[in-house]
Amino acid sequence: MTTDQSALPSPAPGNFAGRRARRRAMAVGGFLITLFLTFLGLLAITFFIGRVIPIDPVLAVVGDRATQAQYDAAKIAMGLDRPLYEQFFTYVVNVFSGDLGRSVSTGRAVADDLSRFFPATFEMATLGILIGVALGVPLGVTAAARQGSWLDQAIRVVGLLGYSVPAFWLGLVGLALFYARLRWVGGPGRLDIFYDGLVSPVTGMILIDSLLAGEIDIFWNAVWHIILPASVLGFFSLAYIARMTRSFMLDQLSQEFVTTARVKGVPEQVVIWRHAFNPIRVPLITVIGLSYAGLLEGSVMIETVFSWPGIGNYLTTALLNADMNAVLGSTLVIGAVFIVINKVSDVLYRVLDPRAR
């Protein structure tokens, strides 16, 4: 962790506010530029994957059952007779205007498909990160406060399991145990079959839509279904967050100002939470952001297991059908969300920490 206590003494007051505002404006500008460049890099990579690697990109897009006429039309439409840099430019313009091409398996525009499937993934990953934060942070703090205890050892092992258990496997085992055997949770899908299609999508997130429609039964049924996949995702973020929290906390607890607090006679709980934990809230935001982004990625693996109609499921179906437009579209959307979360948590760090202001 980078707790830089050797911060410089404060500059003289005076023109302080003005300079601070200008510096912040410059920081925001620089942030937008790196964001844009990173996104352009992502586009370059997807372009490379879609147009350069395949021996015949046209075939990859129209599929091998297309007629010769369809093939030729697609070739012209994709601009493959043009030079590469021009193709890339067109590609970037298309993406920024929301055109991701058409999916051969669903026959719809990829952008439409993605906006339809995204809410389900978003809902699950968000619940997952809430579980991860709610459990991971206290566990990490407790582990550090009782360094070396059995609880600390257990949390260490959980942390490493988070790096070693395949998400799809944990989902399957969870289904076998908590659904098939114990009946504690609902099975695959977002709702029981007879509830399907009863609430009209507003946000696309069933937990919210059912509440908006006042359908309490459907809400609880949705909770019953989402709880297992969200917990599986939550486990991975819990493992990561607890591990990082523990390591940050150990760093803090060995600092002199923590001893100062003890010298004052402050109770141990206050020492831990107010003095050791408060300074790490900001770096923890970055960790949570990273973990959240990781969950979006992890959801790709478990959505197939839970028949969850989200982007992950859409992507895996597209992968198996070699539906390149859909694959690259999903990659772009997940990648973009990933980049934004990454960079925003980075910026939050700098805005929220009094030492960096």
Partner 1 sequence: MTTRDWLLADSPTSRWQANAGRAYRVFTALLRNPLSVLGGVIILVLLLTALFAPWIAPFSPTGQSLADRLLPPSGEHWMGTDELGRDIFSRVVWGSQITLTIVLLVALISAPLGLLIGAISGYFGGWVDKILMGFTDIFLSLPKLILALAFVAALGPGINNAIIAIAITSWPAYARIARAETLTIRNAEYISAVQLAGAGPIRVIVQHILPLCTSSMIIRVTLDMAGVILTAAGLGFIGLGAQPPLPEWGAMISRGRTFILDQWWVATMPGFAIIIVSLGFCFLGDGLRDVLDPKSEGKS
Partner 2 sequence: MSTPLLEVENLRVSFPTHSGRVEVVKGLSFTLGRERLGIVGESGSGKSMTGRSILKLIRKPGEVTADKLRFEGIDILDQNEKQMRAIRGARISMVMQDPKFSLNPVMTVGEQIAEALVTHQKLGRKEVQQRILDMLTAVRINDPERVAKLYPHEVSGGMGQRIMIAMMLIPEPELLIADEPTSALDVSVQAQVLDIIDDLVTRKGMGLILISHDLALVSRYCDRILVMNAGRVVEECAARELDKAQHPYTRGLLAAMPVIDETRDELPVLDRTQWAGT
Contact call for residues 296 and 337 (beta carbons, < 8 A): yes
Is residue 200 within the footprint of partner 1 (CB under 8 A)? no
Closest to 310 measured CA to CA, from 339, 334, 342: 334
Task: Give the count of beta carbons closer than 10 Å to the beta carbon of residue 193.
Answer: 7
Q: Binding partner 1 by CB under 8 A: which of 243, 252, 280, 288?
A: 243
| Spatial distance between the Cα atoms of 170 and 181, rounded to a whole number of angstroms | 15
Is residue 347 within the footprint of partner 1 (CB under 8 A)? no
DSSP 5-44: --PPPPPPSSTHHHHHHHHHHHHHHHHHHHHHHHHHHHHH
- Which residue, 111 or 284, has its beta carbon nearer to partner 2? 284
What is the sign, positive or negative, of the torsion defined by CA atoms of 117, 113, 318, 321?
A: positive
- Amino acid identity, residue 170? L
Interactions with partner 2, residue window 237-276 (CB under 8 A): 255-257, 259-268, 274-275
- Shortest gap between Cβ of 123 and partner 2 (angstroms)? 34
- Shortest gap between Cβ of 356 and partner 2 (angstroms)? 10
Is residue 49 within the footprint of partner 1 (CB under 8 A)? yes
Is residue 353 within the footprint of partner 2 (CB under 8 A)? yes
Query: What does the chain come to in residues?
Result: 357
Is residue 60 within the footprint of partner 1 (CB under 8 A)? yes
Here the contacts of 105-111 (C-beta below 8 Å, separation 24 or greater) are 105/317, 105/318, 105/321, 105/323, 105/326, 106/326, 110/325, 110/326, 110/329, 110/330, 111/329
Residue 62, token pair as written in the block: 């129209």
Residue 42 interacts with, from partner 2, partner 1, none (CB under 5-8 Å by kind): partner 1
- Shortest gap between Cβ of 39 and partner 2 (angstroms)? 33
Give me the residues that bind partner 2 (CB under 8 A), please. 3, 5-10, 255-257, 259-268, 274-275, 278-279, 353-355
Give me the residues that bind partner 1 (CB under 8 A), please. 1, 37-38, 41-42, 45-46, 49-50, 53-54, 60, 160-161, 163-169, 172-173, 175-176, 179-180, 240, 243-244, 246-247, 250, 293-294, 296-297, 300-301, 304-305, 315-316, 318-320, 322, 324, 327-328, 330-331, 334-335, 338-339, 342-343
